[in-house]
Amino acid sequence: MKPAPFKYYAPTTVEEALAHLAEHGYGAKALAGGQSLIPMLNFRLAQPSVLVDLNNVSELFYIRSDDNGGLLLGAMTRQRQVELDPLIAERAPLVHEVMPQIAYPQIRTRGTFGGSLAHADPSAELVAVSIALNGRFRLRSQAGERWVPADEFFVGLFTTVLEPDELLMEVALPAMPPRSGGSFLQITRRHHDFCIAGIAALVTLDGKDQCEQARLVFLSAGDGPVIARQAADMLVGQAPTPEAIRAAAEKAASDEIDPGSDIHASAEYRRHLAKVLARRALTQAFDRASNI
């Protein structure tokens, strides 16, 4: 099939883009890299009457330091740029590690960091990693700006808190706390497939080598990213022994995720994978935290 007809705008500024979105509301879709949206248009799973192409809004393409050792990424920054950027490698090693696993090189030359987040696929690597890293997102409409923490941004299947007249402008990734370690693991049948199960983990050790904080985010385990808060709470204040890690992984997989069954995997198999991945990811994250 081919896309249904639409009206097309190619603004060069954020203000122009916001004006188009404000005018057309639910009828309009913002076009970022197009690597997730255009397939939907090609299959007519989506038929927006208006497309607002952001690819000429140069003010949205950047990677910068903030004043606190963290990073600010413009929403339209190409995934390939993020993959190659030395600041990202230094300050957000989990992002650096994940980038080559996202789709294929050809997808990453057009796909954008913010586009993946706004699209909110439950198996999106950047969605889980942004939450694990305690990212914050700056949203803007003609009415003003607001910041939303990553763990409040995703509310359902392909659904975020973005209003129809709002754009995701920027992602702020804070500096990793000292003695932190991250891990990202996913199971795919072939390299670069959408994952059957996946996890992003970030842990921090305190001065006594006990867990100070932990964040576990599962992919492909529900309608959106699933944050295993109870499992994380179990680890806080404890030494990260294999037993403690195993118990947390069991808790997360049994009680906190809600995977579905489809042609790729059954819910039970996903649950089993989630438990194994959680154990491996936590082990790796704690190892990395203690090796700093």
Partner 1 sequence: MDDLFTVTVTVNGTQYERTVEPRLLLSDFLRHELGLTGTHVGCEHGVCGACTILFDGQPVRSCLMFAVQANGHEILTVEGLGTMDNLHPLQEAFRETHAVQCGFCTPGILMSLLPFLEENPNPTEEEIREAISGNLCRCTGYQHIVDAVKLSAEKMGA
Of 8 and 26, nearer to partner 1 (C-beta) is 8
Rounded to an integer, what distance in angstroms lies between the CA atom of residue 60 and that of residue 287? 36
Among 109, 210, 238, 283, binds partner 1 (CB under 8 A): 109
Handedness of CA 69, 170, 96, 77 (dihedral sign): negative
105 near partner 1, judged by CB under 8 A: yes
12 near partner 1, judged by CB under 8 A: no
- x/- contact string, 60-89, with partner 1 (CB under 8 A)? --------------------x---------
Binders of partner 1 among residues 209 to 248 (CB under 8 A) are none
- Please say whether the beta carbons of 259 and 271 come within 8 A: yes
Closest Cα to residue 181, out of 149, 150, 214, 210? 214
Rounded to an integer, what distance in angstroms lies between the CA atom of residue 51 and that of residue 21? 9
Pick the stretch among 32-40, 121-129, 146-154, 213-221 that binds partner 1 (CB under 8 A).
32-40
Determine how many CB atoms are found less than 10 A away from the CB of residue 128.
33
Closest Cα to residue 127, out of 232, 198, 203? 198
Among 4, 143, 155, 239, binds partner 1 (CB under 8 A): 4
Of 198 and 222, nearer to partner 1 (C-beta) is 198
Contact positions toward partner 1, by CB under 8 A?
1-8, 10, 34-35, 38-39, 41-43, 51, 53, 55, 80, 103-107, 109-110, 191-192
